[in-house]
Amino acid sequence: MPMSTHEVRQALHELGDLRYAAGSLDDALRRIVHATHKLFAVDGAGLMLIDPDQLLRNVADSDGRVDHLEELQIEHGEGPCIDAYEEKELVHAADLAAEARWPSFCPAAVDRGLRAVVASPIPYNRMAIGVVAVFSAKVRPWSPEGELALIAFTDLAALTIANTMQSEQRGELAEQLQRALDARVVIEQAKGALVARDGVSAREAFERMRRQARRERRRVVDIAGEIMSTVHHP
> What domains sit in the chain, N to C, each tagged with a CATH number?
5-165 (3.30.450.40), 172-232 (1.10.10.10)
- pTM summary value: 0.88
State what percent of residues in the chain have pLDDT above 70. 96
Residue (of 164, 103, 110, 114) closest to 137 by Cα position: 114
For the residues of 2-65, what is the DSSP string, one character each?
A: PPPHHHHHHHHHHTGGGGG--S-HHHHHHHHHHHHHHHHT-SEEEEEEE-TTS-EEEEEESSTT
Distance CA 172, CA 95 (A): 37
Residue 234 has pLDDT above 80, yes or no: no
pLDDT, tens digit, 9 for 90 and up, residues 52-91: 999 999 999 999 999 999 999 999 989 999 999 999 999 9
Distance CA 140, CA 230 (A): 49
Distance CA 6, CA 57 (A): 32
Identify the pLDDT of residue 142.
93
Residue 23 has pLDDT above 80, yes or no: no
Residue 1 has pLDDT above 80, yes or no: no
Residue 10 has pLDDT above 80, yes or no: yes
- In 3-state terms, what secondary structure has residue 92? strand
Identify the pLDDT of residue 49.
97
> What does the DSSP 8-state code read for residue 201?
-
pLDDT, tens digit, 9 for 90 and up, residues 120-173: 999 998 899 999 999 999 999 999 989 999 999 999 999 999 888 887 677 888
CB atoms near residue 58 (< 10 Å): 18
Identify the pLDDT of residue 232.
66
Distance CA 190, CA 97 (A): 35
pLDDT, tens digit, 9 for 90 and up, residues 50-62: 999 999 999 999 9
